[in-house]
Amino acid sequence: MVMSFVVVVIVIVIISSHWTILRDNKGTAIMWLFLTLLTIGTVLAIALSLHIYLPSPLDFITFIFQPISNAIHALLGI
């Protein structure tokens, strides 16, 4: 729980240090991209600090390509 608080404090510091730069440049698309990526990273960091199971990206890749691999093996007779 303490690590979640630390993550939130760090995110607040990052936002406060970059907010004026992003706002002054009138780059709304860059600002939204920055905030979206920061939010995703924050959620992942808090989930990891609370010991919530997060599947590896390799699990998703295996889920997608395993049927393709099985089909190729069946076609080639391996």
Q: Which amino acid is at 4?
A: S
- pTM, full prediction: 0.65
Q: CA angle 40-62-50, nearest 5°?
A: 35
Helix or strand or coil: residue 78?
A: coil
Q: What is the pLDDT of residues 29-63, one digit of tens each?
A: 888 888 899 899 999 989 988 889 988 889 999 99
Q: Check pLDDT > 80 for residue 25.
A: no
